[in-house]
Amino acid sequence: MLALIKGRWLWRGPRAAIKEAMYRRMLRGKFESDLAAAGRDIARRVTLNRPVVSRIRQLTAQGHDLIVASASLTPIVQTILEEKGLPVSRIVGSRAEAEAGRLTGNLVGFECFGKVKARRVAHILDTFYAKPYVIAFGNWPDDGPMLVDADEAYIVKGNDIVQFAPNRPRP
């Protein structure tokens, strides 16, 4: 799909075009350190889903790795998780382009959303884990491409968690 936003043709559709324009406007000229500050501010204001956090704590206490995948910017997600005391092994997220410590307003690659998120998570799993058992939590329909690849998948709706898909076959 092709979209024209502020005289610039973008090939990934209106949602991507709107998000890219938003990132450019909000991030251009800011310092990389501003992202961590934003993460701290968000962490003070947001309440994480308790059933998901409980399950994450249970799994990490058993020695499992936590990989967080988000469309949000990686430094913001990392700071929120640190502030909330959640141990994380890897973060798969959108990345802001920077030059000499200042943000350009552009993303490195694409926003970590939908099929892009699923591909990035699959790459991490294929690269660093031998035949992992994957338990995924996500939003519907945005995280559908990632959820269908999980052994156990759950849709998070408010404070509810609903099982999404049957286990996928493993070789």
- List domains and CATH numbers for the chain: 31-163 (3.40.50.1000)
Q: What is the pLDDT of residues 43-59, one digit of tens each?
A: 999 999 999 999 999 99
Number of alpha helices (DSSP H) and beta strands (DSSP E) in the chain = 6, 9
- Spatial separation of the C-alpha atoms in residues 12 and 142, rounded to whole Å: 15
Residue 90 structure tokens: 């890897």
- Spatial separation of the C-alpha atoms in residues 5 and 16, rounded to whole Å: 10
- Spatial separation of the C-alpha atoms in residues 122 and 129, rounded to whole Å: 10
To the nearest whole percent, how much of the chain has pLDDT over 90? 69
Q: What is the pLDDT of residues 143-163, one digit of tens each?
A: 999 999 999 999 998 888 889
The pLDDT of residue 165 is: 55
| pTM, full prediction | 0.84
pLDDT value at 166 more than 80: no
pLDDT value at 6 more than 60: no
Pairing of strands 96-99, 102-107: antiparallel
The pLDDT of residue 171 is: 44
